[in-house]
Structures are given as C-alpha cells and as structure tokens.
Structure 1
Amino acid sequence: MAPGTGGPDGDAPCRTGRQESPEERADRRWGDLLQEVRVAQTGSQVLFGFLLSVVFMPRFAQLEQFDRNLYVVTVVLGALATGSLTAPVSYHRLFAGRRLKPELVEAAGRLVAIGLVLLALTIGSALLLLLREAADGAVAAWITGAVMAYFAVCWLLLPVFHLRRHNGGGKRPPHD
C-alpha cells in the first residue's frame, strides 16, 4: 500500500492530502498534541498553584461553608485537570520504543480532551467562588453560567460547526 493511502485501521483509504506513512502521521499528530497540551497544561498548572495558596490566606477562615466546599471541589477539579493534561508524558515514557505511537496518540488525545473538560469546570468553579465574594450570589451564578456557555461555544460548538461545514454535513470520515 502506498504511503498516505491507509486509513486508521490500514483498510480504507485515508485522504489527508499528505503523503505520509502511518508512522509519520502518528509522529505528526503526536507533535500537534504536544503543542496543544503545552497551552492547556500551563493554564491548568498556574490556576492550580494559585488555588493551593488560597487556603493559607487569612480571609479563607471567614468563608461560608458553601464557599469552603466549593473551594475543595475547585481544588480537586484542578488536580484532576492537571493530572489528565500531564498524563501524556507518562504514556510517552511507558510507550517509548515499543512501536505504539498511534495508540499513544489516541490514548493521550482522550486524556487531553478529559483534561480540557476538567479545566473548564475548574475555571467555572473558581470563577463562581471568586464572584460569590465580589458580587451577589445570584449575579455570580448568572455570570459563571454565561462564561461556561461561552466556553462551550468556543471549545465545542464552533469547532463542531466548522467540522460539519467543512465535511459536508459530517458525511466524510474524520482524518487529520
């Protein structure tokens, strides 16, 4: 089979517009994934680091029980997001040299997707916690809801819309 003609399973043709072997495709996708992770991982780690310091601030002791519980949920979400977004490093170390790059890319891609959802939830809960202190509780909830809806539009709905528009209503199989 000529380079670039095998699909993900090696059966169906893959029309990516590139002449690359499955190994070259996996290498390219891995590089792309690492670039994506660098952006999300940095934000996740900075936010998580900030959240860890909040409990040591004098004002923390004055928070209502709901806000303390919200803080705990936020920190746990931040830890989970950081874990998911750094997991590709562990996968790479364990898979290195075993000729499993396509499997590595697929598994790491799923973890990054989970990490992005957890990061969005972390940002939303951190925003709610902050806004509950800065504004009325109802206003905080509405603003947080609007921000989370914006995330959903930017991170999910717009990409899906563009994919469908580009793929003619989703009739062509996804390949990158």
Structure 2
Amino acid sequence: MSRESEKERADRNFVELLQGARVAVTGVQVLFAFLLTVPFSQQFDRLAPADRWLFFAALVGAAVASICYIAPTAQHRVLFRQGRKELLVKRSNFYGILGALALIVSMTAATGLVIDYLFGPRLAWPVAGAIAVLALWTWFGQAAIDRASGDDQDRDDQDSGEVPGGSSGGSDVPSSSSSREESRA
C-alpha cells in the first residue's frame, strides 16, 4: 500500500471539505432565499418587535452561513496554482465550522419565529432551544467527545496511506490533467 503524499492528502481533504459544503450550501441557500422574501409578505408588518429580532438573527445567520460555505470555492479560484492547498484546507475547515454555527443560529431563529407567530412564545422558545441543542449535539458535541476520547481511526487510516473504505490514499485523488492543474491551487 502506498502512502499519501502531503500534496495528495491536501487534495483529498479539500475535495472532502467541498463535498460536505455542497450538502449544506443548498439548504442554506434555500433558507436564505425564503428569508429574503418574508419581509415583502402582507403579514410581516404585524410581527412583534421580538419576532423582528428573530427574523434579523435568522437572516443574518443564513447570510453568514452562505458566505462561509462559498468562501472555499472563491478562495480556491484566487489561490489557483499558488501551491497553497494546505492553507486552503485549514481555512475551509474553519469556514465550515463557522458556517455550521451560523446555520444553527439561522435555523433556530427561523423555527422560533414561525412557531411564535403560529402558537406564541410559550411553545416557540422551548422548541427553538431544543432545535439549537439538537444541532449543537449532532453536529459538534458527539464529534468533540469522540475527538477527546482519542478515537483516531481516521488518523490511523491516513497515516497508513489508506482512506476509510480500504482503498489506497492515492486512489481518491483525481488523475486527469485538468484535475492535476486544479490541485496546484
């Protein structure tokens, strides 16, 4: 089994980060687009000041999440063929975490806003809180516990030159000439 070079590892890590962002960015963009239309609805002017602040948090959270999830692709274009893929991987990971946190804010605020509008604050706040706790736990809490417990299966796979699933590290790296040019970024 061949070991992954640093360049191959950076290429693979960047591709994995982009795949994860693709899943999230679609949902973020749909939520953001919906939130952009809400103020133009006939009932928006009836919102209480607290609901307007919830809307503000949801809208800004969705905007920040969109920016964070799009940043790696934009920076890849700017840094194309500069040999800074490892830097791009580190930044992309940071932006992914920041984007997920902003998405939690947006989803929680939007859910709270809708439930408050439909049923009032007595139901809205506990449900919004539960949504926030669930997202924090499933997106970060479990992974943080695994990381703290020393569960380093992925690191073992990486160090042995294998990627999860049993293939060699180099097999996931694109081999076409255009992909090789892009990997120089």
- Which TM class, normalised by the smaller chain length? 0.7 to 0.9
1:165 offset after TM fit, Å? 4.2
Q: Say which of 76, 92, 113 aligns to 2:60.
A: 76
**Partner-residue secondary structure (3-state), 2:4:** coil
Deviations 1:47-99 (A, max 9, x none): 00000111111011111122122212221111111111111111101111001
Whether the 8 Å CA contact 2:57–2:105 is kept in 1: the answer is no
Q: Say which of 136, 145, 156 aligns to 1:152.
A: 136
Distance 1:107 1:117 in 2: 15
Q: Say which of 15, 39, 60 aligns to 1:31.
A: 15
Which of the two has greater helix per residue?
Answer: 2
Distance 1:147 1:70 in 2: 14
- The percentage of aligned residue pairs carrying the same residue is 30
Q: Say which of 145, 152, 161 aligns to 2:145.
A: 161
Tell me: higher relative CO, structure 1 or 2? Use CA pairs within 8 A at least 6 residues apart.
Answer: 2
Distance 1:88 1:35 in 2: 11
Distance 1:18 1:153 in 2: 37
Say how many residue pairs are matched. 156
Q: Which residue of 1 aligns with 2:115?
A: 131
Q: Say which of 5, 26, 35 aligns to 1:42.
A: 26
Distance 1:87 1:38 in 2: 12
Q: Which residue of 2 aligns with 1:62?
A: 46
Whether the 8 Å CA contact 1:84–1:115 is kept in 2: the answer is yes
Distance 1:27 1:57 in 2: 45
1:162 offset after TM fit, Å? 2.8
Q: Which residue of 2 aligns with 1:7?
A: none
1:161 offset after TM fit, Å? 2.5
**Partner-residue secondary structure (3-state), 1:58:** coil
**TM-score relative to the length of structure 2:** 0.78
Distance 1:144 1:69 in 2: 14
Deviations 1:124-144 (A, max 9, x none): 010111110121302110111
Deviations 1:2-28 (A, max 9, x none): xxxxxxxxxxxxxxx971000000000
1:158 offset after TM fit, Å? 1.3
